[in-house]
Structure 1
């Protein structure tokens, strides 16, 4: 099915979703798409209530490029002559965090076919979130943020203002030039990178980080939870780091413990730590580590790709994953992890808050 045909089919379904959302609070909804407005319209749907006019642009995906194109189209329609406030709306199969951020920055409302929505205008504020994606495609999608592929994004975000040559990316990530070329090309297609005189730059570091966050799966790592007797989490972290260093085992703290060192945010209860290979450990001799799920105060994590160690830094004598990696891992963890992630982004990833 062509993209145009997909968007036409999406429009039909989006009409039903929008009517369902708006019919009760606004009481009266009319489809004006084929009425007197049609000669001038350049959007996919036009709906009216007693108080509002909704200009709806349908997109077959929520990629950066697709959402940006929809926003540009809606901007051209804002001069639409009407005696009612005209609300621009993007409709997609499922809206992710990146799309939400783009719409929020452009003051554009959105809906998706799962029934999630953020519609805001004069005397109107409707927010529906948490409904699952009903349009997930079967099979394993091509993913530029798969564990090995994500080395490219990680390297770009470790130096978000730098212009890279593809050969440099290949050398610094340990990946083949052909593999890197495919990843870069796909990131360009998705509107996340730009190319200037042969050099690659991140267009909007915050969007790239959020796109990666959406695709990142902490559970794909091999995680062994357990307990080590200690007087405090800080002493445990220091002792564990010393023991691993003495054994010449590659490690990096992540999660709340790493955020505590990076951004001095609150404390932490669980020490989460990447290890190159758990087989290198003698669990019985490593500070009396005892595997157990309940009451665990240590998570030993064998990563799904060694790229997690890229950008690791020494903080107060403890090797920590980069702020970028720590941020991603925090979002899948308990305690006050979300607050720690927000603080880390403010203090150490402030470049991701602009653009």
Structure 2
């Protein structure tokens, strides 16, 4: 934290130096304040003493290394308590609270705005307002460590837990049963539970963990989604139309293939929530059944003119979450299908929105 505090103190100075009317008396990080024994032990993480139009102004910053909504509210509470302390009441009107972090998401910035607090981060986002001074800047840039932390909740293992939760968002889950149903370790479930609470997408009560903002969770997952990792190959099949559909239906439901292959992407959406047809059939398949699929579906590898794409996922857990529809081949789950469609072109994203409206609408 000491290094982050010093970096944010420097970032604050850079922003304030842009305003000619501000005289900067001092900007000090808590790490430096603690070395001065004449000062109180409990101090802001970053303290800036300014003079603006002959008026003394104090900026107090609470730094959070993790800056999810839950931590942001804690920072705001800390700032409010500090500003209300008896020794600070006389100067309360001259004090401005700021939440500071390596990176603040738009949701976190909105929480600060609603609480009447400013903010600053190392990516360049800031909002500092006092005495006719107004500095506001937004950037799409994210520091790499912050971006990694932000995406961690959507890792493949975490995704198994999230898809389980999204199948029935209103249900409360105990850690043990959620781990068993999702086929992950207790540690993974605990990490996901903490991440959901930090981001205010879920709560934990006496009944267990349940989602409180499934739509916000799905929005964030869509925006951070990376395609399923695995080997991707292109094929051409001479089978077409009804003959192709019957071969898919019969083969993917057959005793040797069942549970090891399913339709994905637009091919799955065609059965889940029909909107548009793709020119290519997308299949998720376990490596072990590839020889049989190639034989029965009459597939030939090709670099151009492919009408079949097969993805052999590194983590075959998604195959266990397939959906069975009467009269159809097995297909990928609605959540996975939605995420896959969201990575396509405009028409694909329209198909994603249609599927979400039909199958992923919660109240």
Deviation at 1:49, TM superposition (A): 10
* Alpha-carbon distance in structure 1 between the residues aligned to 2:276 and 2:291: 30
CA 1:103–1:237 in 2, change beyond 3 Å: closer, same or farther?
farther
> Any idea what SS the aligned residue of 1:273 has?
strand
Deviation at 1:159, TM superposition (A): 1.3
* Alpha-carbon distance in structure 2 between the residues aligned to 1:69 and 1:152: 27
Deviation at 1:275, TM superposition (A): 1.6
Structure 2 gaps, min length 5: 29-38, 85-90
CA contact (8 A) 2:24 2:51 kept: no
2:114 is the counterpart of 1:103? no
> Any idea what SS the aligned residue of 1:281 has?
helix
CA contact (8 A) 2:123 2:139 kept: no
Cα distance per residue 1:28-59 (max 9 Å; x no partner): 66657759xx9998574559798999764321
Cα distance per residue 1:259-297 (max 9 Å; x no partner): 455454555444332223354434653544333455544
CA contact (8 A) 1:223 1:299 kept: yes
2:56 is the counterpart of 1:61? no
* Alpha-carbon distance in structure 2 between the residues aligned to 1:81 and 1:237: 74
* Alpha-carbon distance in structure 1 between the residues aligned to 2:143 and 2:13: 19
Pairing 1:101-250 to 2, within 5 Å after superposition = 101-104=107-110, 107=113, 111-115=120-124, 117=125, 119=127, 126-130=137-141, 133=144, 145-175=154-184, 179-180=185-186, 182-192=187-197, 193-197=202-206, 199-206=208-215, 208-209=217-218, 217-228=226-237, 238=245, 241-242=248-249, 244-245=251-252, 247-248=254-255, 249=257, 250=259
Cα distance per residue 1:68-94 (max 9 Å; x no partner): 42354467689995589x6x6543324
* Alpha-carbon distance in structure 1 between the residues aligned to 2:289 and 2:236: 18
Deviation at 1:183, TM superposition (A): 2.5
Structure 1 gaps, min length 5: 1-5
Instruction: Select which of 3, 8, 11 maps to 1:9.
Output: 3
If you compute each CA radius of gyration, which structure gives the higher value, 1 or 2? 2
* Alpha-carbon distance in structure 2 between the residues aligned to 1:273 and 1:136: 30
CA 1:264–1:16 in 2, change beyond 3 Å: closer, same or farther?
farther
Deviation at 1:258, TM superposition (A): 3.4
* Alpha-carbon distance in structure 1 between the residues aligned to 2:25 and 2:244: 63
- Residue 252 of structure 1 corresponds to which residue in structure 2? 262
TM-score, structure 1 normalization: 0.67
CA 1:246–1:339 in 2, change beyond 3 Å: closer, same or farther?
closer
- Residue 31 of structure 2 corresponds to which residue in structure 1? none
- Residue 87 of structure 2 corresponds to which residue in structure 1? none
- Residue 3 of structure 1 corresponds to which residue in structure 2? none
> Any idea what SS the aligned residue of 2:330 has?
strand
2:294 is the counterpart of 1:289? no
Instruction: Select which of 290, 294, 299 maps to 2:309.
Output: 299
Cα distance per residue 1:118-157 (max 9 Å; x no partner): 65989765321145526789xx999665434543332122
* Alpha-carbon distance in structure 2 between the residues aligned to 1:118 and 1:337: 35
TM-score, structure 2 normalization: 0.66
2:335 is the counterpart of 1:329? no
The farther-off stretch of 317-326 and 199-208 is: 199-208
> Any idea what SS the aligned residue of 1:161 has?
coil
CA RMSD of superposed structures (Å): 4.8
* Alpha-carbon distance in structure 2 between the residues aligned to 1:237 and 1:57: 62
* Alpha-carbon distance in structure 1 between the residues aligned to 2:92 and 2:22: 19
CA contact (8 A) 2:9 2:46 kept: no
CA contact (8 A) 2:248 2:297 kept: no
Instruction: Select which of 311, 315, 319 maps to 1:309.
Output: 319
* Alpha-carbon distance in structure 2 between the residues aligned to 1:298 and 1:326: 17
